[in-house]
Structure 1
Amino acid sequence: MAIPVIAIFDVGKTNKKVFLFDERYNIVLERTSCFEETADEDGDPCDDLRMLTSWVHDTVEELEKLSKFDIRAINFSSYGASFVHLDENGKPLTPLYNYLKPYPEHLKRQFYDLYGGEVKIATETASPVLGNLNSGMQLYRLKYEKPEVFDKVSYSLHLPQYLSYLLTGAPYADITSIGCHTGLWDFRKNDYHEWVSKEGIMQKLPPVFPSDSALEVNVAGKQRFVGVGLHDSSAAFIPFISSFHEPFVLLSTGTWCISLNAFNSSPLTVEELNNDCLSYISYKRVPVKASRLFAGSEHEQQTKRIASHFDVSPTFYQKLKFNPLLAGKLRGGSEGTGVLKNNSNLIASAFASRDLSLFVSAEEAYYQLILDLLKLQTKATSLVLEGASVNRIFVDGGFSKNSIYMNLLASAFPEMEVYAASVAQATSIGAALAIHKYWNKQPIPANIIDLKFYSASEIAI
């Protein structure tokens, strides 16, 4: 008898994955693909939209041929800060512009001068001023840089919703993508911001479809329930908010390390916005206060630099075990909380400017990197802790498996209970849980999340 499953497409900047989960949320099939980036018309790197589109169609076709599985539903999670602009025939009009693409200064000034300034817009939309990372600004840019293209746009879909559209043919928006530092949503009014209407952008945005609902469509000749797709950070939060009801902060680690607190409803302050805080809207339309750090990306780049300098494997750090004596020795050398990267307006730690010849080994340099990153992470996470009685931090993603990082994080928050939260693909399970009622006859299991407690050592960060 075929196993009832849900298929989840999880599209990251680096890896494109597909999972099949059974009714107990066990992974019964997993496939990973990596695509070479292409470039847009300005020469800036971006995901290859044609390849991504073909991968979705080809993968669905392959999965439907697996007789041992009964695919009852399909959903998607992806980074959300990029739009796919569709013409009247549903064909993409532009490349999938990278959210780190530099934003023209003159357009930025034009926009904020017209609509009341950066502080006003950032506060109302709960979105720090981030250029292309504010995906609404991508639409504003398209209108003024390429008006002939803008005029041809029938619908602009955030990437998760485009992936869903490939199967449903139905253009929809989703609140988790709209409400994630886009600059589009007015958190005071719980509606699109007035500038969206004034600029004629509203007509390019499709109706909002509930994040916890699904469409019944014909896929490869069979009726399937298909979700509208979720922003990846919001999807990763769903297993936790479904499992724990006492206040907590989730530190979701990957390319971005995002601290999420759904138990802090206070409005964003100017200081918080200046420190890259924002508010997400969860799949249940509840605001989630968050702070972001580009720490995973920096970790990847700096470990490569260490490996090259000491002539070791780029994965050398995966074999290291926590050494409190070494951490204590380096503690005094961790001053400096970071420097500003001029090219992308992202905060980086002090490690990028450190002289590697001052370290005796790759291990010592790596400990300094983690200490430097945690100087920033402590500050970022503390921003969402203020004003909320939280005493637990759950860490999921790449850093949750890193004993050096986890031990030092516990030392940085000695008053908190710090747990490595092992969720087999939290983002993908979140996307599956969002539409659980459409495909799964079983109750949600109580053991989706495995926790490992880390106690604070005497090493202070």
Structure 2
Amino acid sequence: MQVTPVIAIFDAGKTNKKLFLFDENYRIVYEKSARFIETVDEDGFPCENLESLRLSVFDSLSEIFRLKQFKVMAVNFSTYGASFVYVDENGRPLTPLYNYLKEYPDHLSKYLYDTYGGESQFAADTASPVLGSLNSGLQLFRLKNEQPEKFAQLKYALHLPQYLSFLLSGSYYSDITSIGCHTALWNFDDNDYHQWIKKEGIAPKLAQLKDTEEVLNAIFPGNDYKVGIGLHDSSAALIPYLVSFSEPFILISTGTWCISMNPFNQSPLTGDELKDDCLCYLQYQGKPVKASRLFAGYEHEQHVKRIAEHFGTDVIRFRSIPYDPQVIGKLQHHIPQSKASDPLQKESIFKTRDLHIFENETEAYHQLMLDIMHQQVHSTNLVLQGTAVKRIFVDGGFSKNAVYMNLLSAVFPGVEVFAASMAQATAIGAALAIHSSWNTKALPGDIIELKHYSPGKAVTV
């Protein structure tokens, strides 16, 4: 029987946990998914069931090691960010895996901001908008102040990807993609931890940084395989594009959030950009990526339900509405639109639209996308302006939306716009990060499928 060399990737999202096996051509040859029932922390707030996740890693690996048609050469991890596992000297978790949506105490954040230059300066230094528990460094500061006995027992605070790596390698490391993503831990100007980490006694609780491309020896039984140290999922999803394209580009990753990422923009964040939900994070090679966020996927989902209810149709209808430039022209001529000078808001103005002014659901939907595109242009321009970018790639849900894609190409006529499709970009990115440690073949050049959208009649939003 022919045995296929593979890499195993655990891709742990907030909701779905997936395991993939990729062959040396980065084709999926095995996949498995699971969802765990959440547990609660000591305050009754929902949180990840860490024990279920730990056992799932062990059980899943044991299962694939029994599959004789595969030889696992390496294992790596990509997970959601802003989540610390606090382990004692024996590697056992000391606390629940606290939820990054949990409200953060005002007096603790106020102390940090007041002590270290003020809120604006602190946010600028760390390239981290003020996000409460989403700034995972603040979670560690909270543990020190609210649970000093647990903090005293703490060996290391490991971001979730590095905790999963520890389970298989027995080694404690930190990773730059997790440390450098809206954590309030990293000073982007100094390219080092922020001074508060050292002055507040946090530094000894952070494991040594290790290069994301390096691998560790495994202690979990199986064949002779290597273990990666894991990556933050947003950074992992960008890797296939960095590997495939050398000319400057922006990737708009669309889902619940639409995140515009520019790996070719290293300009410092301004106060206004931070207020508009801009941030910087560090990609797997340690270089800054300027990014802006928009809650457009969530907004789209909510308003589609509203339109469907009003016009008595099914939400499925809106999965494949074709782009109609004549409808766009009619709407722009007869209905007041947002102005380019309008400030970026958290929501588009569609929430104020009276649906009775539209003849049918097609008109209403096109107006929704016009209003979302007004927001998208603002958001993307925050990371685009002043750079040499000539290409925009869109992946995720909106890459399959003809109205969104055609509008995007119309509002950025000087930039080539592509819908990108790739099976499991985050998992592939985690595999590519340690390519040389498991794969005997050259890096593939055909991982990403592209569909070009030619700009039609210019659209002003």
Q: Deviation per CA, 1:38-67, whole angstroms, max 9, x where unpaired?
A: 333334333322222222222212222221
The yes-or-no answer on 1:109 pairing with 2:126 is no
In structure 2, the partner of 1:414 is 413
Counterpart secondary structure, 1:143: helix
TM-score by length of 1: 0.92
Q: Which residue of 2 aligns with 1:215?
A: 216
- Output one character per residue of 1:108-164: Cα deviation in whole Å (capped at 9) or x when no partner: 212111111011111111111111111111111222222232222221111111221
For the Cα contact (< 8 Å) 2:170–2:219, is it kept in 1? Answer: no
The alpha-carbon distance between structure 1 residues 128 and 169, as it changes in their structure 2 partners (threshold 3 A), is same
Shift in alpha-carbon separation, 1:383–1:197, aligned structure 2, 3 A: same
**Which residue pairs with 1:95 in the alignment?**
96
Residue of structure 2 in register with 1:288 after alignment? 289
Give the corresponding residue for 1:335: 338
Over the matched positions of the two proteins, sequence identity in percent amounts to: 57
CA gap 1:252/1:115 in 2 versus in 1, 3 angstroms: same
Cα drift, residue 324 of structure 1:
2.3
Shift of 1:310: 5.1
- The residue number in structure 2 matching 1:321 is 322
**Equivalent residue letter for 2:338:** E
- Give the aligned residue type for 1:277: C
Give the structure 1 partner of residue 232 of structure 2: 231
User: What secondary structure sits across from 1:405 in the alignment?
Assistant: helix
Q: 1:316 to 1:10 in 2, by over 3 A?
A: farther
2:460 corresponding residue in structure 1: 460
Deviation readout 1:326-354 (Å, 9 max, x if unpaired): 333344454286886xxxxxx23333454
Cα contact 2:320–2:401 (8 A) shared by 1: no
Between stretches 419-428 and 99-108, larger displacement belongs to: 99-108
Q: Which residue of 2 aligns with 1:444?
A: 443
Pick which of 253-262 and 231-240 moved more.
253-262
- 1:226 to 1:106, Cα distance in 2 relative to 1, 3 A: same
Partner in structure 2 of residue 344 of structure 1: none
- The aligned amino acid for 2:443 is I
Question: Matches of residues 177-196 of structure 1 in structure 2 within 5 Å?
Answer: 177-196=178-197
Contact 1:338 1:376 in 2 (8 A): no
In the alignment, structure 2 segments of 5+ residues that lack a partner are none
- 1: CA distance, partners of 2:399 / 2:378: 18
**Whole-Å Cα distance in 2 between the matches of residues 44 and 305 of structure 1?**
30
Per the alignment, do residues 356 and 45 of structure 1 end up closer, same or farther by CA in structure 2, a change over 3 Å counting? farther
Q: Structure 1 residue 34: deviation in Å?
A: 2.7
| Contact 1:218–1:224, Cα closer than 8 Å, also in 2 | no
Q: What residue number does 1:300 align with?
A: 301
Partner of residue 150, structure 1: 151
Verify: 1:375 aligned to 2:374, yes or no: yes
The letter of the residue matching 1:240 is: Y
Q: Match of 1:31, SS? A: strand
Say which one has the larger Rg.
2
TM-score where L is the length of structure 2: 0.92
Equivalent-residue separation in structure 2 for 1:448 and 1:339 (angstroms)? 35
Check 1:226–1:139 CA distance in 2 against 1; reply closer, same or farther (3 A cut).
same
- Structure 1 position 419, deviation (Å): 0.5
1:36-435 matched pairs, under 5 angstroms: 36-307=37-308, 312-331=313-332, 332-335=335-338, 347-356=346-355, 359=358, 361-435=360-434
User: In terms of mean alpha carbon deviation, does 73-82 or 148-157 score higher?
Assistant: 148-157
Helix, strand or coil for the counterpart of 2:224?
strand
CA contact (8 A) 1:6 1:21 kept: yes
Partner SS for 1:196: helix
**Which residue identity lines up with residue 108 of structure 1 in the other structure?**
S
After superposition, the CA RMSD in angstroms is 2.1
CA displacement 1:372-426 (0-9 Å, x = unmatched): 2222111111011122111110111222122221111112212211001112211
Q: Give the residue type in structure 2 aligned to 1:76.
A: F
- 1:10 to 1:314, Cα distance in 2 relative to 1, 3 A: farther
- Offset from partner CA, 1:230-272 (integer Å, 9 cap, x none): 0111111111111111111111222322211121222222222
The 8 Å contact of residues 64 and 220 in structure 1, kept in 2 or not, is answered as no
Change (3 A) 1:222 1:211: same
Q: Deviations over 1:282-309 (max 9, x none)?
A: 1111111111222223333443444455
| CA 1:436–1:116: 2 relative to 1, 3 Å | same
Secondary structure of 1:348's aligned partner:
coil
Equivalent residues of 2:176, 2:209 under 8 A apart: yes
User: CA offset at residue 430 of structure 1?
Assistant: 0.8
User: Does the Cα contact within 8 Å between 2:65 and 2:223 map onto a contact in 1?
Assistant: no
Once residues 50 and 217 of structure 2 are traced to their aligned partners in structure 1, the CA distance between those partners, rounded to angstroms, is 25
Letter in 2 for 1:460: T
CA distance in 1, matches of 2:353, 2:36: 33
Change (3 A) 1:153 1:218: closer
Structure 1 32/296 Cα, relative in aligned 2: closer, same or farther at 3 Å? farther
User: 2:276 touches 2:344 (CA, 8 Å); kept in 1?
Assistant: no
Q: Could you tell me how far 1:362 is from its partner in structure 2? A: 4.5
- Does the CA-based 8 Å contact 2:344-2:378 persist in structure 1? no
Q: State the Cα distance separating 1:198 from its structure 2 match.
A: 1.1
After superposition, the Cα gap between the structure-2 partners of 1:119 and 1:308, relative to the gap in structure 1 and judged at 3 Å, is same
Cα gap change, 1:225 to 1:409, in 2 (>3 Å)? same
Q: What code does the residue aligned with 2:404 have?
A: Y
Distance, in Å, in 2 between the alignment partners of 1:205 and 1:385 is: 34
Retained in 2: the 8 A contact 1:266–1:387?
no
> Displacement of 1:358 after TM fit?
5.3
Distance 2:267 2:224 in 1: 44
Q: Which moved more, 1:172-181 or 1:107-116?
A: 107-116
